[in-house]
């Protein structure tokens, strides 16, 4: 088909093929801009239209503001001809995208090519991040890894399981055990061990999360970490869990489901929803989440660059 089109272009002969061939729409990059603190409330309003799907970006803005190196990237916005936001993205180490139009998706993908911070992972809902990747890479580069993930969500009313003694917030004195457990989960998901790649930076980020009172743990009497879960992001409506870990000796005994159920009940005293993402291949983990009372609500794709 490509050769046939090319021949007719050379001969300058209009054909049905050319008439039916959809033109490539180039986004108006003049509508793309770096977001500032002055636009914070407008951006939060845009993201609030889908609070579960945008919890990570919203939480970052609440925690750090829009212009802060702690975000490990920069926030960009895309506006339509009327000046209304159609897309917002954090472009950086973890690139997060929320768009309402294809034009916004294309424009944000193009600016991502110029990211000052090396991009490690890209995330969005559904399959839109795959389209984002195609525009970002120009279709000439393959990602290192693509993971299809399920979005699990829990809210009241929910099933009550057994309580586990000792579920509590972590302390900084427990940093190394927590970091090693989180690194194990990260390696299983992405194939990269953050303790090896960036030990100092990783430990600093885990320490910050502990001090923010967002790491929940259970230790046994011997001081062994049995269970861990991080509230990676939170908004007034949603808390998002990540880094869920159970010690190998305690797996398959229902402890993870009990801990998650108990933790969810605690967190739901403050918000409407608790959610998490899980690789579609981790069926054993999915069974645990379902036993804890979570429901599979949606899907997304995560791309490791």
Exposed / middle / buried, residue 14 (Cβ in 10 Å: 0-12, 13-18, 19+): exposed
Residue 124's pLDDT is 87
Beta strands in the chain (DSSP E): 32-34, 73-79, 85-92, 94-99, 121-125, 145-154, 168-169, 215-219, 225-234, 238-246, 273-279, 295-304
Residue 159's pLDDT is 85
CB 121 within 8 A of CB 302: yes
Residue 25's pLDDT is 63
pTM: 0.84
Q: Calculate helix-pair angle for 40-47, 55-64, nearest 10 degrees.
A: 160
Residue 12's pLDDT is 43
Residue 127's pLDDT is 74
Exposed / middle / buried, residue 124 (Cβ in 10 Å: 0-12, 13-18, 19+): buried
Residue 1's pLDDT is 33
Domains of the chain: 29-142 (3.40.630.30), 153-297 (3.40.630.30)
What is residue 118's DSSP assignment?
Answer: P
Which residue numbers in the chain have pLDDT < 70? Answer: 1-25
Long-range CB contacts (within 8 A, 24+) of 133-139: 133/109, 133/303, 134/109, 135/105, 135/106, 135/109, 135/110, 136/109, 136/110, 136/112
CB 304 within 8 A of CB 121: yes
């Amino acid at each position: 088909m490509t050769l046939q089109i090319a021949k007719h272009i050379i001969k300058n002969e209009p054909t049905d093929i050319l008439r039916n061939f959809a033109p490539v729409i180039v986004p108006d990059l003049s509508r793309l801009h770096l977001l500032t603190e002055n636009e914070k409330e407008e951006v939060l309003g845009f993201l609030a239209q889908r609070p579960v799907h945008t919890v990570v970006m919203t939480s970052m803005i609440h925690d750090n503001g829009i212009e802060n190196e702690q975000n490990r990237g920069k926030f960009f916005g895309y506006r339509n001809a009327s000046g209304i936001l159609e897309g917002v993205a954090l472009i950086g180490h973890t690139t997060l995208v929320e768009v309402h139009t294809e034009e916004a998706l294309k424009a944000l993908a193009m600016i991502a090519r110029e990211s000052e911070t090396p991009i490690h992972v890209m995330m969005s809902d559904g399959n839109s991040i795959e389209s984002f990747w195609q525009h970002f890479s120009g279709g000439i580069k393959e990602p290192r890894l693509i993971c299809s993930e399920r979005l699990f969500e829990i809210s009241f009313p929910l099933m009550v399981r057994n309580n586990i003694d000792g579920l509590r917030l972590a302390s900084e004195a427990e940093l190394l055990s927590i970091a090693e457990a989180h690194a194990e989960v990260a390696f299983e998901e992405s194939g990269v061990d953050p303790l090896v790649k960036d030990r100092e930076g990783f430990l600093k980020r885990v320490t910050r999360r502990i001090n923010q009172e967002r790491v929940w743990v259970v230790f046994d009497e011997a001081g062994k970490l049995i269970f861990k879960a991080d509230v990676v992001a939170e908004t007034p409506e949603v808390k998002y869990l990540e880094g869920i870990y159970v010690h190998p000796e305690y797996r398959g005994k229902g402890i993870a489901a009990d801990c998650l159920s108990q933790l969810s009940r605690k967190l739901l005293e403050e918000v409407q929803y608790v959610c998490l993402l899980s690789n579609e291949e981790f069926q054993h983990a999915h069974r645990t989440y379902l036993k804890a009372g979570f429901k599979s609500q949606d899907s997304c794709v995560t791309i490791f660059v």
